[in-house]
Amino acid sequence: MEIRVLRYFLTIAEKGSITAAAEQLHITQPTLSRQIKDLEEELRQKLFIRSSHSMKLTQEGFIFRQRAEEIISMVDKTSAEFLSMSGTITGDIYIGSGETPTVSLIADIIAEIRKEYPDICCHLYSGNEADVTERLDKGLLDFGILVQPADLTKYDCLHLPAEDIWGVVMRKDSALAQKKEISKNDLLSLPLIMSRQVLMTKSAGNALIDWFGEDFDRLNIVTTFNLIYNAALMVKSGVGYAVSIDGIANISSNSDLCFRPLVPKMTSGLDLIWKKHQAFSPVSDLFLERLHKKICYLCG
């Protein structure tokens, strides 16, 4: 199985036709068709459903696309790392994170580095804890940012000097929006939209579940979410009230939504993590060094 053929496969999957893929790849259609047929024979699986004008992935094709994307990503990342060892600091850094305003701290570091080394490129991946740690474990990310509580036993980490404030995203015209703060009792009878990550971490040290205490099992959870954007659309449509952190849902003056913090105040810390015994590229080393300096400065 050649990397070149994996790129061919992914191009066809993206374009949906042999003709469009061949044009983009600058090879003939018969050559491309033969390469994909050979790949299917090697895998002993049919990857595409063929018609006169289109190529659609089979179920096996969808599975193979995920694997091919991971392989190509790892190959490109490895090539970039070794090219960056040439003496001049250049290359790529891969960071995964859940939705949190603390990403602005990372953005400041990247902006600072790029002023000195404009050939550096940063790749951001958004996802929950499971998404980020899976990609980190596979070597597809250099760093991950996790919102506590999170299992850090497999990783080295750097605690970030920031906290996310928990509260409720709701419609501005809801009765609850008249309150400045939201208590546990305010939420017990309401339809709630909750993060799947919180619900999957029902263990000691889960600050949000601990905040609700024995009443957590009484909550009327009608929808779960991975990232807040879609959850906010649910709130806007009147499905329920989203329990989330501040600073990520659109609550501007033009928005139908607002945010109210929980009382007693509830916050979550954040950690930058990386694989133990990680061999960093020069770019990743530089990023971690600058972040250390920034944290020391902020903490006085």
Q: Is residue 143 predicted with pLDDT exceeding 80?
A: yes
Q: Are residues 169 and 217 in the same domain?
A: yes
Among 78, 105, 132, the domain-final residue is 78
State pLDDT tens for residues 264-289: 999 988 999 999 888 788 888 899 99
Q: Are residues 150 and 285 in the same domain?
A: yes
Among 61, 78, 95, the domain-final residue is 78
Cis peptide bond N-terminal to 149, omega within 30: yes
Q: Are residues 153 and 174 in the same domain?
A: no
Q: Are residues 171 and 260 in the same domain?
A: yes
State pLDDT tens for residues 210-249: 899 899 989 999 999 988 889 999 999 999 999 999 998 9
Q: Are residues 60 and 129 in the same domain?
A: no
Among 43, 78, 113, the domain-final residue is 78
Domain of residue 70, CATH code: 1.10.10.10
Local structure of 5: helix, strand or coil? helix
Ramachandran bin of 88, using left for φ above 0, alpha for ψ from -120 to 50, beta for the remaining angles: beta
Tell me if 265 sits within 8 A of 181, measured CB to CB.
Answer: no
Q: Are residues 186 and 258 in the same domain?
A: yes
Question: What is the rounded CA–CA span in Å between residue 197 and residue 99?
Answer: 12
The region of weakest confidence among 38-42, 49-53, 290-294 is 49-53
pTM for the complete prediction?
0.69
Rounded to 5°, the CA angle 212-218-224 comes to 80
State pLDDT tens for residues 149-165: 777 888 999 999 888 99
Q: Are residues 201 and 259 in the same domain?
A: yes
Tell me if 146 sits within 8 A of 127, measured CB to CB.
Answer: no
Q: Are residues 133 and 255 in the same domain?
A: no
Q: First CA to last CA across the chain, in angstroms?
A: 54
Q: How confident is residue 26, by pLDDT bands cut at 50, 70 and 90?
A: confident
Give me the number of domains the chain comprises.
Answer: 3
Domain of residue 199, CATH code: 3.40.190.10
Q: How confident is residue 88, by pLDDT bands cut at 50, 70 and 90?
A: low
Local structure of 232: helix, strand or coil? helix
CA 125 to chain centre: 4
Q: Which residue do the tokens 């972040």 mark?
A: 291
**Radius of gyration of the chain from Cα atoms?**
23
Question: What is the rounded CA–CA span in Å between residue 232 and residue 250?
Answer: 8
Residue 120 tokens read as 């550096």
Is residue 191 within a helix (H) or strand (E), and if so which, with residue range? strand 191-195
Local structure of 174: helix, strand or coil? coil
Give the domain extent around 279.
86-161+269-298
Question: What is the rounded CA–CA span in Å between residue 173 and residue 107?
Answer: 34
DSSP symbol at 278: -
Q: Are residues 279 and 135 in the same domain?
A: yes
- Residue-averaged pLDDT of the chain: 88
Q: Are residues 31 and 100 in the same domain?
A: no
Question: What is the rounded CA–CA span in Å between residue 265 and residue 262?
Answer: 5
Q: Are residues 64 and 135 in the same domain?
A: no
- Count Cβ neighbours within 10 Å for each residue of 28-53 and write b for 16 or more, e otherwise: eeeebbebbeebbeeeeeebbeeeee
pLDDT: which is higher, 270 or 84:
270
Q: What is the pLDDT of residue 180?
A: 96
Residue 94 tokens read as 């891969």
Q: Is residue 58 predicted with pLDDT exceeding 70?
A: yes
Q: Are residues 276 and 243 in the same domain?
A: no
